[in-house]
Amino acid sequence: MKETTATLLDIRLLAQGYQVLTFDAPEIASQAQPGQFVHVQVPTLEPSRLRRPFSIYDADPVSGKLYVLYKVVGFGTQRLSTLPTGTSMQILGPIGKPFPLNPSGTPYLVGGGYGVAPLWFLATRLPRKGVLFVGGRTAADILETERFKTLGWEVRVATQDGSLGVSGLVTAPLDEALAENPSAELYACGPDGMLKAVGERAIQHGIKGWLSLDKHMVCGIGACLACVQKIRKEGTGDERLARVCVDGPVFESREIVW
Ligand SMILES: Cc1cc2nc3c(=O)[nH]c(=O)nc-3n(C[C@H](O)[C@H](O)[C@H](O)COP(=O)(O)OP(=O)(O)OC[C@H]3O[C@@H](n4cnc5c(N)ncnc54)[C@H](O)[C@@H]3O)c2cc1C
Ligand code: FES
């Protein structure tokens, strides 16, 4: 983990409410692994000066470029959207335990909204292609599906209002696929309800399910305990509190005590 001064090279509107930032951050880009995140100090943010955590959406160790995909939800993300290119900012990273990259079956990635960010980075680094299951409230929350297809991934979409793909939750197409081919390994990032549902399916089918948790964070370096999650040790069943920032954000389904 490094603290670095990164330069904002580009801000791109991806879809309504979603942006992609490109930074020049070679020290982080050279070490980044899928599932890790960066902690960004948003400049001139008086109401709350805490850093904001964002998954690494992509990283190019050759060019030194680091990419973050985010949704505008409050002060920090609004401020990020207004910054001019060339702005320097402090970024800490890469932080946390990444996704493992050795699936024992077909990789099934499950995400929605900005949860697709670490899954894209993961899709570019996994040794085999699989299926992206992407869900959201409406079509506007379904991001980057063409990019996954171009990379050779199958994409199955579900929206709650039926505006794109099948109508309902992302677990519907996931269940269909698991019924056809239960020899899969699951990787998910999104809201707790979705993670819990994906984790239950991993346990039910006796396969691994890697879940990236999204907790409110303060320090991002394991010191403040703002981000704790109850987990159980596999084998013994002993329960303890883990810090999502440094012990996660990725946990195996069986570890998490919901
Ligand atoms: C490991 C990790 C990875 C993340 N990756 C991404 C990402 O790739 N893209 C992205 O858009 N967001 C990501 N988030 C969430 C992101 O950190 C928050 O959306 C952001 O900090 C909000 O900042 P803000 O100042 O705009 O919002 P605030 O003004 O602080 O809050 C606005 C609203 O957002 C909610 N919020 C704040 N922090 C979080 C959080 N951690 N999770 C969920 N809701 C939150 C608040 O409760 C409030 O309702 C990630 C969070 C974690 C912990
Ligand atoms: S955010 Fe401080 S310990 Fe995780």
Ranges of residues in the chain whose predicted pLDDT is under 70: 45-48
What is the model's pLDDT at position 172? 97
In a domain, 101, yes or no: no
Structural domain total, the chain: 2
Q: What is the pLDDT of residue 48?
A: 66
Among all chains, which residue has been given the structure tokens 């024992």? Answer: 104
Q: Which of these three, 95, 124, 143, is where a domain ends?
A: 95
Closest CA to 63 of 115, 24, 103: 24
Which residue in 4, 3, 2, 9 sits closest to 24, CA to CA? 9
Same domain, 123 and 251: yes
For residue 55, give its domain range. Answer: 2-95
182 and 235 inside one domain:
yes
Query: Do 164 and 204 lie in a common domain?
Result: yes
Q: What is the pTM of this model?
A: 0.96
Whether residues 145 and 83 share a domain: the answer is: no
Task: State the pLDDT at residue 46.
Answer: 65
**How far is ligand 1, taken at its centre, from the CA of residue 19, in Å?**
14
Q: Given ligand 1 and candidates 16, 52, 243, which is best to mutate, with the most ligand atoms within 8 Å of its CB? A: 52
Alpha helices in 157-243 (DSSP H): 171-180, 192-205
**Would you state the pLDDT for residue 236?**
81
Provide the pLDDT for residue 239. 95
Residue 89 within any structural domain of the chain = yes
CATH number, residue 148: 3.40.50.80
Could you tell me if the CB of 52 is within 6 A of ligand 1? yes
Q: Is there a domain that residue 100 lies in?
A: no
pLDDT reported for residue 112: 86
**pLDDT value at residue 216:** 95
Quote the tokens at residue 201.
Answer: 């399916």
| Residue 184 bridge partners (DSSP) | 106
Q: Does one domain contain both 138 and 228?
A: yes
Give residue for tokens 């791109």.
12
Give pLDDT, residue 237.
Answer: 78
- The answer to the question of residue 163 being in a domain is yes
Asked if residue 113 lies in contact with residue 143, where contact means CB atoms within 8 angstroms, the answer is yes
Taking alpha carbons only, the member of 161, 122, 129 closest to residue 142 is 161
Res 44: pLDDT:
77
